[in-house]
Amino acid sequence: MNNKTVNRGKIILSVVSLTLGFILAFSFSVSQNRNQEVAVNSATFGQTESVRQELIEQKERNKELSEELRDVQETIREYEQQAGSNTSSLDELVKEAEALRLLTGEVSVKGEGYRVQLEDGEYDPDQVNPNDYIVHEGHVFMVINELKIAGAEAVSVNGKRIHETSYIRCTGPVITVDGETFPAPFIIEAIGNSSTLSEAVELSGGILDQLKGQQIRIQTEKVSELMMLSMHES
Amino acid sequence: MWLPLLGLILGISLGLMTDFQIPSAYENYLSIAVLAALDTLFGGIRAQLQQVYDDKVFVSGFFFNIALAAALAFLGVHLGVDLYLAAIFAFGVRLFQNIAVIRRILLTRWADKGLSSK
């Protein structure tokens, strides 16, 4: 009888100590987790702050450098112009350099040109997928390619000059051109023979018809005087 | 003696292995439960030393105190009154008292032992 009571007491005590151990260990692990979270949070915060600071510094440095680059290029052009006026044999070379600079977007250009404006289609409640009627970066590519094939000397998208290392990326409802984000409508301007450019784009069965088939609203316009900034300024 | 110890080890390992998060609003309950459990444990030890230990009182006190403290904290959270402070206060005071009594009893025993062995 006595033995039985001792056993029962032991079992009860075991249950109690099990509960106690569980509670202690559980609250220990919970507070451990919380401490870790706090540590992680503060570490990430500091990191973000320092990275942001670095970014600001880099941007300022970038700005300084691009200004310096512009100054230097201005001087080079002056030198070349002087050289060109001195010797007629160099004249050709200077002209060639000038033409190449137009293509690479190193200098600002003025001249007749052509403008294409791409706009998202009307919102259509029947259309489930909005991708079917918004302008994608692919459409912009198509127009730029067509303009370049038709002999455009300089091309810009929403005022951003396109040069040989330009990139255009789809970033959701907007596109990114060389790190700058632009929403629709996208205005693509090209400098060159405006009638050639317009014929190339408006060719029946050509790019204009293709885009219209994809519910995109397009406006085109021949412009007698277009001003395009250099890649460093735009 | 080994059975309660095994229970304790099992409980600790269970608690360490349990890996679920509880909302921070309910962390008060946990702290109260810890206090209540410790309080009852030391109360039990004291009762044992004073030879008034009773299984039923000890076990019912252990679980009832934990439940009561959690209920009080729950009520406090929902009323916007920090009622769990009352529980922490009560348990804290009793914890210290119990430990003090245990210490005194042990000291007296040690002194008696020293006298008798002389």
* Sequence letter at residue A21: G
To the question of pTM greater than 0.80 for the whole model, the response is no
Residues of A in contact with B3 (CB under 8 A): 10-11, 13-14
Residues A224 and A153 in one domain: yes
Q: Is residue A97 part of a domain?
A: no
- Residues A189, A109: Cα–Cα separation, whole Å: 12
Assign A60 a pLDDT band (cuts: 50, 70, 90): very high
* Sequence letter at residue A30: V
Q: What is the mean pLDDT of chain A?
A: 82
- Residues A113, A212: Cα–Cα separation, whole Å: 22
The nearest CA of chain A is from the CA of B89 a distance in Å of 19
- In chain B, domain spans: 24-117
pLDDT at A123 over 80: no
Contact B61, B43 (CB under 8 A): yes
In this structure, how many other beta carbons lie within 10 angstroms of the beta carbon of residue A146? 21
Residues A216 and A153 in one domain: yes
Across the interface, whether the CB atoms of A17 and B4 are under 8 A apart is answered yes
Report the length, in residues, of chain B: 118
pLDDT at A1 over 50: no
> pLDDT tens for residues B5-42?
788 888 888 877 877 677 766 677 777 888 888 888 88
In total, how many domains does chain A have? 2
Residues A63 and A129 in one domain: no
Residue-level pLDDT at A211: 82
Q: Is residue A93 part of a domain?
A: no
Contact B61, A73 (CB under 8 A): no
Residue B27 touches partner A, C-beta closer than 8 Å? yes
Query: A123 or A159, which is more confident?
Result: A159
Strand order in the sheet with A217-228: A160-162, A154-157, A186-191, A109-119, A217-228
Could you give the ipTM of this predicted complex? 0.72
A-B contacts at Cβ under 8 angstroms: 98
Tokens of B66: 């934990």
Q: Which residue in B11, B21, B24 is closest to A17 by CB distance? A: B11
Peptide bond into B23 cis (omega under 30): no
Domain that holds residue A152: 107-228
Contact A29, B16 (CB under 8 A): yes
Q: Which chain A residue's Cα is nearest to B38?
A: A20
Q: Which residue in A9, A14, A20 is closest to B41 by CB distance? A: A20
Residues A112 and A218 in one domain: yes
